[in-house]
Amino acid sequence: MSWAVCFATPLEVEAHLVKGFLEHQGIPCVLTSHRFALQPLTFCALGEVQLLVPEEWLGTARGMIARRSGARAARRMGHRA
């Protein structure tokens, strides 16, 4: 099985939230980190955390993430998605 990056962020907590969202929808996924971690960082980040899914799930996962992001943005602006 071949895996592909469907989401990347410098914030580890955001990566875990998106991973949980996809897993709840039944999409298999794993996290990989390219962050510089020799010193503990309490803000921002150096590098990124990537969320990978099997290639056959890539389009579905990206679409779900995009719809979720769009719905959150609409709620912030006072619109329903």
pLDDT score of 75: 62
Q: What is the mean pLDDT of residues 54-66?
A: 95
Residue 48 is predicted with a pLDDT of: 85
Query: Distance between CA atoms of 37 and 24, rounded to whole angstroms?
Result: 29
Helix axes 58-76, 12-24, angle to 10 degrees: 110
Percent of all residues in the chain with a pLDDT value above 90, rounded to a whole number: 54
At 37, the pLDDT band (50, 70, 90 cuts) reads low
Q: What is the pLDDT of residue 55?
A: 97
pLDDT at 60 over 50: yes
Q: Identify which of 9, 69, 68, 54 has the alpha carbon closest to the alpha carbon of residue 33.
A: 9
Which has more pLDDT, 73 or 27? 27
**Does 1.10.287 match the CATH number of domain 3-76?**
no
Distance between CA 45 and CA 35 in Å, rounded?
A: 7
